[in-house]
Amino acid sequence: MISTYASALNAAQDAAGGQNYPPCALYVVATPIGNLADITLRALHVLKIADVVACEDTRHTQSMLRAYGIDKPTSQLLAVHQHNEAEAAHAVIDRLRQGLRVAYVSDAGTPAISDPGARLVAAVRGAGLRALPLPGASSVTTTLSVAGITDLGAEQGSFVFAGFLPPKSTERIAAVVGLASETRAVVLLEAPHRIEALAAALAALGERTVTVGRELTKQFEDIANVAAQDFPAWLKADANRCRGEFVLVLHPVRAAVEVGPEHRILKLLLEELPLKTAVKLTADITGASRNTLYDTALAWKKENTEE
């Protein structure tokens, strides 16, 4: 079967073939999260020239490589997944010390974010060898880019990647309670068989907006903004909405400004001192959290600016 990506491989050779790809290096390669056309030219070239492709699932990766017209024998594929990552890292390091180029891919997206890869990279770098990133698709940034968030919290542009919340009900609810006071945007991941349970837990966040990304970049991609309290009903309105992998973004909320002794002290100090100095002194005097005081001071400043 002739690959429909033959022209892409030629383009990859033309665009990236002349660049430097040192041996004895681990190449951490981002792959598409759904749409095969989202591969980068440099990723295609590195996957083609790699002596070894370490991967989360050898069968899945072999299928992906063949779709691009890259044919690697089984002997050039090495399984490195969450259950064997620490041990398999030694096999990767052995190959790097032999002067080989090793590419690492997860099943989809950028390795070492939620997928395996972080332990492998740490082991490689700890052995004094190079780990080189090849950026590309990521479900986290993909969803954030269409969430329509104009203010990511106390610090512009900040967000928290929380990934998968605990599967057990009590632990999941406790995690959501913790997120209720998080003023920054929060990115969550969830599998289809647990999405209804997560939606029920998030409903406690009331009117807080949730961007729901489902089957991103695929044929039945679905992206919607809903209030957390309406999320369970949104899922039940269409049986298809519970299918596929999910990325959720909790939109930020403004930090609650409480009136307590630490806030009175902070307000007095802010009248005479720079913000960071006032926050430090208030924290030293009252024992209150410096980060919380800093967020509170920024919220006051923003309110005064808007007025």
Cα–Cα distance for residue pair 91/303, rounded to 1 Å:
56
Name the β-bridge partners of 224. 212
Could you give the 3-state DSSP secondary structure of residue 227? Answer: strand
Which has the minimum average pLDDT: 55-59, 109-113, 208-212, 280-284? 280-284
Contact criterion met (CB below 8 Å) for 99 and 23: yes
> Which pLDDT does position 1 carry in this prediction?
41
What does the domain layout of the chain look like in residue ranges? Answer: 6-137, 140-250, 261-306
- Chain segment 247-294, per-residue pLDDT in tens: 999 998 765 544 577 887 888 788 778 999 989 999 998 888 888 888
Burial class (CB in 10 A: 0-12, 13-18, 19+), 260: exposed
Please check whether the two domains, 6-137 and 140-250, share a CATH topology. no
In the chain, the amino acid numbered 169 is S
Per-residue buried b or exposed e for 117-138, using 16+ beta carbons within 10 Å of the residue's own CB: bebbbebbeeeebebeebebbb
Q: How confident is the model at residue 222 (pLDDT cuts 50, 70, 90)?
A: very high
> Which pLDDT does position 44 carry in this prediction?
97
> Which pLDDT does position 257 carry in this prediction?
45
Would you say domain 6-137 falls under CATH 3.40.1010.10?
A: yes
Count CB neighbours of 162 within 10 A.
16
* 222-227 sheet: strands from edge to edge: 159-164, 185-190, 246-250, 209-214, 222-227
Tell me the H-state helices in 133-270: 139-145, 169-180, 195-202, 231-236, 261-270
Cα–Cα distance for residue pair 200/152, rounded to 1 Å:
24
- Chain segment 32-44, per-residue pLDDT in tens: 999 999 999 999 9
The CATH number of domain 140-250, selected from 3.30.9.10, 3.30.470.160, 3.30.565.10, 3.30.950.10: 3.30.950.10
At 161, phi and psi to the nearest 5?
Answer: -100, 105
Strands (E), 56-203: 77-79, 101-105, 130-134, 159-164, 185-190
